[in-house]
């Protein structure tokens, strides 16, 4: 069953940014059932062999609509692929992850790839059933940018982290399963790099990772900066600074409170666990610590 809201929620929870179909102007409907297997067991890289004339949203939207029109005219079910990754690094929604695409068929009937690890088997040798496809919207001789590889890696990694793809799902090129040049030599040569980057994001998530040691350093740095500051931004900060500047003991208290508050706000478990934090969380933790440290 096609489950578009569910898919979008899972990807967003993992921090993936992707331009949705109604934003880029998809004209086909994607809600009808075209059964596929979830979790996916492989990822395929394709190339659309179309011009990508600019690095602007407007031109990329037009390219996406062109690729949709090509897929629709050939197969009658909208975009052939599950996502596009432009050379700007922008990701575009294509065929939903829970609706079968059309472009990846294992005409070699290969169980395994001669170039990459991971299974290529599929029901009826139709990899659209159990694999997901990402397309590079460009010509074969166009550069494959680092931003594109990064975007493709993020896209695959969040699927694994969200349970939409199996942990053992691996990247392949379209040519791994059929007698085509797709995804072109430039893209094919970067598949091992794409796989390694995908594994990095599977392990760490898309956000920056901060260890407890790094968190202590951040806390120390924040305190140092606050104590060195001439004027605080709000009255709470000002009061804390004034108090700290007058008494070394108060400064130590403030530093300890800050460090504890930051750690408790950011670390869900004690010990050297890796955590995901945002600048907003750090700011909130500092403000909470200052409120508590000054009784304000």
Which residues form the interface with Zn ion (CB under 5 A)?
A: 46, 113, 115-116, 172, 174, 176, 182
Which residues pair with residue 209 across a beta bridge? Answer: 276
Q: Based on CB atoms, which residue is closest to Zn ion, 98 or 106?
A: 106
Residue 172 beta carbon to Zn ion: minimum distance, rounded to whole angstroms: 3
Residue 169 beta carbon to Zn ion: minimum distance, rounded to whole angstroms: 12
Residues in the chain, how many?
A: 296
Q: Based on CB atoms, which residue is closest to Zn ion, 97 or 133?
A: 133
Q: Based on CB atoms, which residue is closest to Zn ion, 133 or 254?
A: 133
- Do 172 and 113 form a contact (C-beta atoms < 8 A)? yes
Residue 98 beta carbon to Zn ion: minimum distance, rounded to whole angstroms: 21
The Cα 176–Cα 210 span in angstroms is: 38
Strand arrangement, sheet containing 131-136:
91-93, 83-85, 131-136, 40-47, 165-173
Q: Based on CB atoms, which residue is closest to Zn ion, 115 or 278?
A: 115
Residue 102 beta carbon to Zn ion: minimum distance, rounded to whole angstroms: 11
The residue assigned the tokens 């990329």 is 60
Residue 113 beta carbon to Zn ion: minimum distance, rounded to whole angstroms: 3
CB atoms within 10 A of CB 105: 16
Q: Based on CB atoms, which residue is closest to Zn ion, 47 or 290?
A: 47
Residues whose CB falls within 8 Å of the CB of residue 56, separated by 6 or more in sequence, listed in order = none
């Amino acid at each position: 069953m096609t489950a578009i809201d569910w898919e979008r929620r899972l990807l967003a929870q993992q921090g993936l940014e992707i331009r949705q179909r109604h934003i880029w102007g998809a004209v086909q409907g994607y809600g009808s059932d075209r059964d596929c297997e979830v979790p996916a067991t492989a990822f395929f890289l394709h190339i659309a062999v179309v011009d990508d004339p600019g690095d602007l949203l407007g031109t990329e939207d037009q390219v996406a609509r062109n690729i949709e029109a090509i897929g629709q005219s050939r197969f009658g079910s909208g975009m052939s692929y599950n996502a596009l990754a432009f050379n700007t690094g922008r990701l575009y929604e294509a065929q939903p992850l829970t609706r079968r695409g059309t472009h990846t068929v294992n005409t070699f009937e290969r169980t395994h790839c001669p170039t990459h690890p991971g299974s290529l088997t599929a029901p009826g040798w139709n990899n659209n059933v159990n694999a997901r496809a990402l397309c590079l919207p460009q010509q074969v001789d166009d550069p494959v940018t680092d931003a594109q590889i990064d975007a493709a890696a993020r896209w695959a990694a969040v699927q694994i982290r969200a349970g939409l793809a199996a942990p053992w799902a691996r990247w392949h090129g379209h040519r791994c399963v059929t007698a085509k040049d797709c995804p072109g030599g430039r893209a094919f040569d970067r598949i091992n790099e794409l796989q390694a980057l995908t594994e990095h994001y599977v392990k760490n998530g898309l956000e920056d990772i901060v260890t407890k040691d790094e968190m202590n350093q951040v806390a120390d740095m924040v305190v140092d900066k606050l104590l060195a500051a001439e004027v605080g931004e709000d009255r709470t900060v000002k009061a804390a600074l004034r108090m700290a500047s007058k008494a070394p003991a108060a400064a130590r208290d403030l530093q300890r409170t800050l460090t504890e508050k930051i750690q408790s706000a950011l670390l869900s478990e004690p010990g050297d666990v890796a955590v995901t934090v945002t600048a907003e969380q750090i700011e909130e933790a500092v403000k909470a610590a200052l409120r508590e440290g000054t009784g304000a």
